[in-house]
Amino acid sequence: MNKFLKFIALGTAASLMALSLAACTSGDQNSSTGSTGPNDSGSASLDLVSEGTLIMGTNAEFPPFEYQENGEVVGVDAALMGAIAEKLGLQLEIKDMAFESLSEALSGGTIDIIAAGFTIDPKREETMDFTNTYFTAKQTILVRSDSGFASKADLEDKKIGGQTGTTGLSCAEELTAKENIKGYNNGSLAVDDLLNGNLDAVIIDNNPANEYKNQHGDELTLITDQFEEEEYAMAVKKGNKSLLDAVNKALDEIKADGTFDEIVAQYIK
């Protein structure tokens, strides 16, 4: 249920551009490098922060895509990047940081790639290059079950929270004034404030929304299908074509050999 999973093999930059419209964002679409050209360069020639290692930046507060378990970052993205690193003959290192710090870490050269349930968005495309897509998501509204709210129209001028820097908060901007919007370090803190009565709604991607619903049961209600679909992809530093092509090729391979499906099935029930 609620799995908006699609397996999209994007062969051309044109088709990637067609999918580059993220929900709740506006602005010019830039052309994006989504090439799946052959990677005949070995991993030794890849432009990496540290030779032999692929450093992935994420925010491990986004289950089931990334979360902490026994002191380790696990989830769909960690497992996918583990499989991709293996295909490239690289060690995977995961740096867990605030979601809003990821873009700066990428442009500042402390990570090689963002893998964070990260939505392709025209604004982000100005400063980074996205890989081919690997997952389709939708923003979901969480409300208290006793609120009576049933659609986004009910949230006009209401207090809405979400994770700082996310597309969920861009969606909130469509519904309520900026001063009614509160950003949190992670979705879980926003949900706490919703349950405490400090917020009227939280907007977050559908899979984490399902996790919060499972945790809190009858107290929370999900309002689904209110926003456009979004596409998740990994992101590399703008212009790092060798890494982009290598990751796209590895992603194609793990889709073709069944590894991708296995990973998704392991984390998304």
- Binding site residues, ligand GLN, CB under 6 A: 59, 62, 99, 116-119, 163, 166-167, 205
* Helix runs in the chain, H state only: 13-18, 76-87, 102-107, 122-125, 167-175, 187-195, 206-216, 241-256, 259-267
Tokens encoding 267? 């984390």
Is the Cβ of residue 30 or residue 242 nearer to ligand GLN in the bound state?
30
Q: Which is nearer to ligand GLN, 34 or 117 (CB)?
A: 117
- CB 169 within 8 Å of CB 190: no
Closest contact distance (angstroms) between CB of 61 and ligand GLN is: 8
Angstrom distance (rounded) from CA 62 to CA 99: 10
CB of 187 to ligand GLN, least distance (A): 7
Mode of pairing for the β-strands spanning 220-223 and 91-96: unpaired
- In the complex, the smallest distance separating the C-beta of residue 247 from ligand GLN, rounded to whole angstroms, is 18
What span, in angstroms and rounded, lies between the C-alpha atoms of 204 and 193?
14
- For the CB of residue 69, give the shortest distance to ligand GLN in the complex, in Å: 17
Query: 118 vs 149, which CB is nearer to ligand GLN?
Result: 118
User: What is the nearest approach in angstroms of ligand GLN to the Cβ of residue 118?
Assistant: 5
Torsion of CA 169, 171, 175, 181, to 10 degrees: 0
Q: How many helices (H) and strands (E) does the chain have?
A: 9, 12
Closer of 32 and 43 to ligand GLN (Cβ): 32
Taking the least distance from each CB to ligand GLN, the nearer of 170 and 180 is 170
Beta carbon of residue 167, minimum distance to ligand GLN (angstroms, whole number): 4
3-state percent helix, strand, coil for the chain, nearest multiple of 5? 40, 25, 35
Of the two residues 211 and 249, which places its CB atom closer to ligand GLN in the complex?
211
